[in-house]
Structure 1
Amino acid sequence: MSRSFSSAIPRPLLAIGPLVVLLTVFGLLALTTPFGTIDAQGATTGEVLLTVTIIGAIAGIIPVAIGMLWFPFLRDLDPRYLHAFLALAAGVLAFIAIEMTRDVVAYTAAVDRTALAAALAVGGVGATFAVMYAASAWRQRTMASTEKSGLAIAYLVALALGLHSVGEGLGIGTAFVQGDSTLVAVLVLAFVLHNVMEGPTVVAAVARDAETPPVRHFAAMGALAGGPVIVGGWLGSLAQSALLAVLSFAIAIGAILQVLIEVGDLIRFDAGAVLTRANATTFVAGFVLMFLLEDVVGDLVVEGWLAPV
């Protein structure tokens, strides 16, 4: 969306519009169970994959797309506020990395081959970080201009979030094959709330670029960030494995660590200083927000306060 078009829309509408869409979708999911009675045992492989694909799209792609609707609002922000929002996105990523580290520890402790699981965890984090760091260094050396591309970093953010989303899909796929429709619905509700923050996290870096990229880039980044929920659902429904979960989470952690460095470099490139009062405040705010969305709201759902009908 161009600056001229977005500037014609009242700023409160730009800020509140995506929330209205989110609440509508969340309300529909909370009041009804769109998955019906799950009977994975009596379904063919094709039927299982199709249903998991639909569930994954609802839990992953749709909320990310809703979050990306905040792009016009971010586009018109003063640079210092945009940097603060980038710091908030970094706080979101940091929380996700810590949560996945807890998952890695839990899955590692649950398997018989603990040493193998630990090796996969360390190797997955290290190898992913090294590969992405090398790719980033190569990209910076070969760029034709001295400008730092927000679009390139946005793709890296989408990739990191997408790798993390595989773990979400693993949980959905496992619950599906167990025939637990309530758990599937609970996971979807939690992931919708969780993943809606991934949309602005992805597009925040693009908002500081002079030119708005074509719509195809937004579609590609949304699919890259939310689509892997579907892939994880396939894996979870067909090949349940704690070792696979450990490796998936480890790869995502390594990617997020590299992306955090990229976000810091982007802010430093524009402003010269990363650790300002506003950036520190919004970083903590992003971390706390994800804690509230994932842990507190998730607990309320599990305890029945927000349970779907």
Structure 2
Amino acid sequence: MTARSIDDLPRWVLAVGPVVVLTAVFGLLYLTSPFSGIDSADGVSTVEIVWTVTIIGAIAGIIPVAIGMLWFPFIRNLEPRYLHAFMALAAGVLVFIAIEMIEEIVEYSAVVDSTLTSGTVAVVGVGGTFAVMYVASKWRQNKMASQDKSGLHIAYLVALALGLHSIGEGLGIGVAYVQGDASLVMLLVLAFVMHNVMEGPTIVAAVARERETPPVRHFAMMGVIAGAPVILGGWVGSFANSPLLAMLFYAIAVGAIIQVLIEVAELIRFDAEAVLSRTNTATFVGGFVLMFFLEDVLTEFVLEGWLIPV
């Protein structure tokens, strides 16, 4: 099916289609409980550990991000003010993730013997990443011949920031796997599927303002950048469960998100009178609340056995 024929589909199909796909994937996980047979990784070969964690990471990371990106045909046909609102919603998602990761940094720092060491890792991770990305962004802007902001560039930055955050998710999966905790692995996968599906539209919101649709390879690459680090985190969690390493990954992700938020604000400001319009503010809050619901409320349901068959 060509891009033109996809755009010709009814709007409700473009809006509901990804939800149907997500429901099917979630239902398949719910009914099959594919990780129920996981035992302790003791005695399991390195190759088997890597392969199993890779499969789990792909299900929890790459697949839901790809499903979320299916909303692109719906988003790209929105009027500019609604597109700005969608980018504001994406910013709300990013802010929630940043706050969540700051909480993780604080929790991990409590188990590190040296407060100075943990504080240094956090400051260097956040500040260093922000500084590097800020300098790189300014260099790119100075090199650009056109006055236009590159939505594709910002989409890649969003994917990178979300990918760094995904490493932390993978750490949890890896640790639960080597401990042989099948219920926790299933819980994390379900929670991350619900959580990460919103990363797809968060990434493509910036690309939707481009006059021409970027080649499919860009979508594939951004999906891998955002989702595949769950696999990397799973590998790290399986073999090197280190609080300082987890803190570093989370701190790097927070620094990246701060820079991305600035880029998104500048992208909206480029062709809008105000960044914090009434609509943008409402959708920003909506994105934050939505992630709270997906991450905390639904996770509590899973923990209580509401969403996992017994």
Q: Are the equivalent residues in 1 in contact too, given 2:36–2:186 (CA < 8 A)? A: no
**TM-score with structure 1 setting the length:** 0.98
Distance in 1, matches of 2:219 and 2:19, equals: 19
Q: Are the equivalent residues in 2 in contact too, given 1:300–1:306 (CA < 8 A)? A: yes
- Please give the residue correspondences for 1:156-235 in structure 2 after superposition, counting only pairs within 5 Å: 156-235=157-236
Shift of 1:113: 2.0
> Which deviates the most, 108-117 or 48-57?
108-117
Distance in 1, matches of 2:138 and 2:146, equals: 15
Distance in 2, matches of 1:29 and 1:87, equals: 31
Paired residues in the alignment total: 309
Distance in 2, matches of 1:95 and 1:2, equals: 36
The match for 2:44 is 43
The match for 1:62 is 63
- 5+ residue gaps, structure 1: none
- 5+ residue gaps, structure 2: none
The match for 1:6 is 6
Does structure 1 residue 81 correspond to structure 2 residue 115? no
Structure 1 segments of 4+ aligned residues over 3 angstroms from their partners: 1-4
The match for 1:32 is 32
**TM-score with structure 2 setting the length:** 0.98
Shift of 1:305: 1.3
Distance in 1, matches of 2:76 and 2:297, equals: 31
Distance in 1, matches of 2:25 and 2:93, equals: 22
Distance in 2, matches of 1:107 and 1:51, equals: 26
Shift of 1:73: 0.1
The match for 2:303 is 302
SS for the counterpart of 2:211 is: coil
Deviations 1:114-139 (A, max 9, x none): 22111101110000000000111011
Shift of 1:3: 6.3
Q: Are the equivalent residues in 2 in contact too, given 1:2–1:212 (CA < 8 A)? A: no
The one-letter code sitting in structure 1 at the alignment partner of 2:37 is T
Q: Are the equivalent residues in 1 in contact too, given 2:167–2:229 (CA < 8 A)? A: yes
Q: Are the equivalent residues in 2 in contact too, given 1:91–1:284 (CA < 8 A)? A: yes
Distance in 1, matches of 2:147 and 2:235, equals: 42
Shift of 1:307: 2.0
Distance in 2, matches of 1:15 and 1:49, equals: 36
Change (3 A) 1:3 1:53: closer
> Which deviates the most, 279-288 or 37-46?
37-46
SS for the counterpart of 1:23 is: helix
Shift of 1:2: 6.9
The match for 2:112 is 111
Same amino acid, percent of matched pairs: 70
Distance in 1, matches of 2:135 and 2:179, equals: 41
The match for 2:73 is 72
SS for the counterpart of 2:180 is: coil
Q: Are the equivalent residues in 1 in contact too, given 2:15–2:74 (CA < 8 A)? A: yes
Deviations 1:201-251 (A, max 9, x none): 000000000010000000000000001000000000010011111111000
Deviations 1:24-49 (A, max 9, x none): 00011112221342231121011000
Distance in 2, matches of 1:181 and 1:300, equals: 17
Q: Are the equivalent residues in 1 in contact too, given 2:36–2:183 (CA < 8 A)? A: no
Q: Are the equivalent residues in 2 in contact too, given 1:121–1:250 (CA < 8 A)? A: yes
The one-letter code sitting in structure 1 at the alignment partner of 2:109 is T
Q: Are the equivalent residues in 2 in contact too, given 1:163–1:251 (CA < 8 A)? A: yes
Shift of 1:5: 2.5
The match for 1:140 is 141
The match for 1:15 is 15
The one-letter code sitting in structure 2 at the alignment partner of 1:57 is A
SS for the counterpart of 1:271 is: coil
Shift of 1:69: 0.2
- Please give the residue correspondences for 1:261-280 in structure 2 after superposition, counting only pairs within 5 Å: 261-280=262-281
SS for the counterpart of 1:259 is: helix
